Structure formats: structure tokens, C-alpha cells
Chains A and B, each alone.
Chain A
Amino acid sequence: MMEALNIKATSDTPEIILDAISGTFEISQRCFPEDAVGFFSSSIEWIKNYAKSPNSSTHFNFKLEYFNTSSSKQIFKILLLLEELSKKNEVIISWHYNKEDSDMLSSGERYSKLLQFKFDMVEI
């Protein structure tokens, strides 16, 4: 089993938990790092490795409050990897959004449409 990746949140970067043993895959809080490519590289690397021997089912939770446009591209990369994984194993993507935050809802719908992959949209 792979070692879990656990990144603590800061005022401009999210908390990321990628843990195959407990089956927790989650990214939460705010995300507007100065260097989005650098910030997400470890997570993207982790998911690439995980996809080589994944759990039978992967439930990924996106619980973001805000993200900037440079992060949106990196989030798309993560979603692409998950979509790829879904071709051989079960993948559930839950996209959480505040019911008043129509921009966060639209972002989830946009990704879902782009990937032609149905998300579980969770209103909070």
C-alpha cells in the first residue's frame, strides 16, 4: 500500500488528504497558491502512482471554498487522472458546493461536462 499524502491547509492552499488505506481522498478549503503547478505536483504524482494499483473503489471529495484560475487547470489534471482510472475501477467524484455559491456549482458542472463524467453534486 502507498504511503498517504497529507498536506495541511494554509491561508492560501488547501488541505489535501490522499490515503489509500483509509480510503480518504479529499481536497478542501481555499486554493489560490502563487505557484499552482508546483503546489499540485506532489498530489498529481501521488495519484499517478495510485492508479497503478488502485483500490477497487475510489471516492474523491472536492470540498473547496475558493480556487483561482491557475489552480483550476491543476484540478482539471487531477480530474483527468480520475476519469482515466474510472475506465478500470469504480470512481465516485463528489463535488461539494455551498447552496448560495453558484460559481462553485458551475465549476463542478463544467468539469463534469468536459470529462463527460457524472459527478455527485453535494449541496452544503
Chain B
Amino acid sequence: MNPQENKNHSFIFDLYRQMNHYSLSYIYRGGFSIDLSNKILSLAETNMANFSESSSTKKKVYFIMLESLQNITRHQDVKTQESTDSSSFFVIQRLENDYYITSGNTIENKNIDSLKSKLSKVNSLDKESLKEYYKETLSQGELSTKGGAGLGLIEMARKSGNKLSYDFKEINNEISNFYFQIKVSAPDAETASQDINTDRLTWIEGLEALILEKNLNLIYQVDFTQESLISILSMTEGNIGNKEDLALRKKIFNIIVELSQNIYKHADEPDTEKEGKSGILMLGEKNGEYTLTTGNLILTKRVESLSASLDKVNKANFEELDNLFDKTIMEDEKKGQKGAGLGFIDIKMKSKNNIVYNFSQIDADYSFFEIQVKISEKK
């Protein structure tokens, strides 16, 4: 393994460690279509149902996500899209019973001041004054051409009961990145946070820089179950991979299935109360080459045998791999066997690449196991 790869792996493990205390993180960076926005909303609905959230939390999160996503789709205009490092991004995270919803998009510098004044106005008001301000703004009906009058901001602040966190980062003398975060507190939270805490926003800004550097489009950290797999597939399908290249999109789909099912069938989860297995999945693309990465925990004592099975697949040429596949498919299942034992063989055959893997020992019992698969568009 060359040093470049090693560097990549530690970055995934680092990220996993930083995100591990969240029960859900979904991060997407790229172009946003209405279809993708709807899929993100339905992914959140599925996850909230799994966490058995109260209907009040569900409604608030849904509303704020919808507004944030609409802000992104409305404001990703041609001018800002031309800049290659300025596509939009969206993050939803669940920490304990609170949700953090963050969006990022570029805006023209000339519009910053008016947006800033709206934001600081909203933050300066208490609950009652916000209600008044809402009515006032509504009656003024001062609509911008993009259809926003700051009403969205007021409504988001009212629904969440928390202050808005935001930041601007200049890209060049015409455009800047606008970061915006709202927290939806758990219903039993004693008091809404009246102070503006920007720590989490700063962390996400750093994360975006990393995502850009590593050419990632998607990070999904969740307890892996069949349900979470289905929702991630509905999102990636149609949104990831060259539309003209059906074979590639099917390969990506298949490999996501195999990697995710590997996690929930074979990962070793210390928290036995959990329904799924904690893990992380990432997707990235650069010049028509797609990279799929997953990470999960396994018992350190399994590292050796897992390495051996991966090495066996990696060392085999494609003819040997074919024979290995045939031999394995004809074998009878062993008692308690959870898969067909064909996953790694299939991944290498479909991707036409070796499976890069790495283990990072966490403690005597557990290690972090990463797999990375690259698939290229047909030339």
C-alpha cells in the first residue's frame, strides 16, 4: 500500500471517530435537483421513524429541511455554479435527541449584507416579537424575485425555537459560501438554546473542505440495516453515476448493496441493544472514476482471517476468480452462514479492481475495518 492510500485511510477512520457520537449523519455535496431533495426528505423520514421521534420533532425537522433544501435549489444559480469548487451541500445530523440541519450554498457578495441583516434581526427577537415580525413581514409582502422575503428564515427560527447559526466565507470578489445551521431540540429539552453556538457549524465548514479535497459527494453514517440500505439506494440511484452509462450505475448499485450488507451481516457491534450495526459509507467521483468506501467495527481477533480472505481475492486473476466464484456457489451453506461468501469475489469482478482495505486497531477487542472500491466509467 502506498503512502497516499494510507493517508486516505486514516482520514476515514478519523472522520468515523469524529462522527461516531452522532446516531445519524447524512452529508451530501453536489448539484441539487428537486428529485434529490425529495429523496433526502424521505430518507430523513425513514430514519426519524426508526428513531421513533415524536410527531412534533418530525414535523419541525421536515419543515426546516424542506426550507433549507428549497433555499439551495432556488439559489444555486448559473453564476455561482460556474465556479467548480462552489457546489451546494446539505447536512443532517442527529445527536442524542437533537437534530442539526445545515445547508451551504454560494451567494453573490452583493447580497450578503441584506441577508446578514435579516439573519441578525431574526436572532435578536424573542418568541413573541418573532411572531409579530412574521405578521409584519407577511403583510408587507416584499417578495424578492427568487420568491423569498425572509419569511422562510422567520418560520424556521419560530419552528425550531433556537437561534440561527450562520457564516460567510469569501470565495472570490464576486461570490461567497453561505453556511446556515438550525438545531431542532428534543421535545423534552428544558430550554431552547438562546445563545448562538457556532462550534458545530465550524466543524461542518472544516468537513466541507475535506469533502472537497477528497472529491466526496456523499457521507452516510448510520446504524446499517436493510431499511437504511434501501433508503440510501433510492437516493444514489438516478443521482450518482453518468446517466448514459447504465452498466456503471448498476455496478455502483450492486457494490453498495454488497458493502452495506457486509456491514450489517458481519460487523461486530459492541452495543448489542442496537438493531443495526454502526458504520459509514462514502461515495466520491473524480474524472469518471467512482470511489466507494465503507467502514465498520470488527473484533480484532477476526482481522487475520478477514485479511486472508481479501488477499485471496486480490491475488487471484480474473480467471481464477471465476473458478473461485463457481466453486463457492456450488458449495452447500454451512450452518449459521449469513452470506454466500461471494461478496468480495463479486465486488472485484464487477469493479475490475482490487479491493483496498485497512484495519486500525481501536483497543484489544475492536478494530476499525475499511474497504475501498474504485469503479471507472467505460471509456
Contacts and interface: CB of A to CB of B under 8 A. Distances in A.
Contacts of B245: 100
B260 to A, nearest CB: 9
Contacts of B343: 69
A114 interface: yes
Interface stretch (A21-29, A47-55, A70-78, A87-95): A70-78
Interface in B226-270: 226, 229-230, 234, 245-247, 250-251, 253-254, 257-258, 261, 264
B340 A72 contact: yes
A23 B51 CA distance: 46
Contacts of B350: 103
A104 B249 CA distance: 13
Given A66-B253, A66-B254, A110-B325, A72 B342 contact: yes
Contacts of A33: 226
Given A11-B230, A114-B326, A69 B247 contact: no
Interface in B333-351: 333, 339-340, 342-343, 345-346, 350
A36 B329 CA distance: 14
Given A32-B261, A103-B350, A73 B329 contact: yes
Contacts of B247: 100-103
Contacts of A104: 250
B330 interface: yes
A66 B254 CA distance: 7
A37 B234 CA distance: 24
A98 interface: yes
Contact of A72 (B230, B322, B329): B329
Interface residues of A, number: 23
A107 B19 CA distance: 39
Contact of B333 (A73, A102, A103): A73
Contact of B246 (A12, A101, A110, A114): A101
Given A66-B250, A73-B333, A103-B247, A32 B257 contact: yes
Interface string B339-379: 11011011000100000000000000000000000000000
A41 interface: no
A98 B246 contact: yes
Contacts of A57: none
Given A70-B261, A73-B333, A101 B342 contact: no
Interface string B192-234: 0000000000000000000000000000000000100110001
A70 B333 CA distance: 10
B254 A76 contact: no
Contacts of A69: 258, 339-340, 342-343, 345-346
A70 B261 CA distance: 10
A12 B333 contact: no
A6 interface: no
A102 B352 CA distance: 13
Contacts of B251: 103
Interface in B290-344: 322, 325-326, 329-330, 333, 339-340, 342-343
A84 interface: no
B246 A100 contact: yes
Q: Which of A32, A36, A72 has the most CB of B within 10 A?
A: A32
B118 to A, nearest CB: 41
Contacts of A100: 245-247
B32 to A, nearest CB: 23
Contacts of B229: 12, 32
Contacts of B230: 11-12
B129 to A, nearest CB: 47
A78 to B, nearest CB: 12
A34 interface: yes
B257 to A, nearest CB: 5
Contacts of A42: none
Q: Which 10 A-B pairs have the closest CB atoms?
A: A69-B342, A73-B340, A100-B246, A34-B226, A70-B340, A69-B346, A32-B257, A69-B340, A70-B339, A68-B257
Interface of A: 11-12, 32-34, 36-37, 65-66, 68-70, 72-73, 76, 98, 100-104, 110, 114
11 contacts: A34-B226, A34-B264, A65-B250, A66-B253, A69-B343, A69-B346, A72-B329, A76-B329, A100-B245, A110-B326, A114-B330
Interface of B: 226, 229-230, 234, 245-247, 250-251, 253-254, 257-258, 261, 264, 322, 325-326, 329-330, 333, 339-340, 342-343, 345-346, 350
Given A33-B226, A69-B342, 5 more contacts: A12-B230, A68-B257, A70-B339, A103-B250, A110-B326
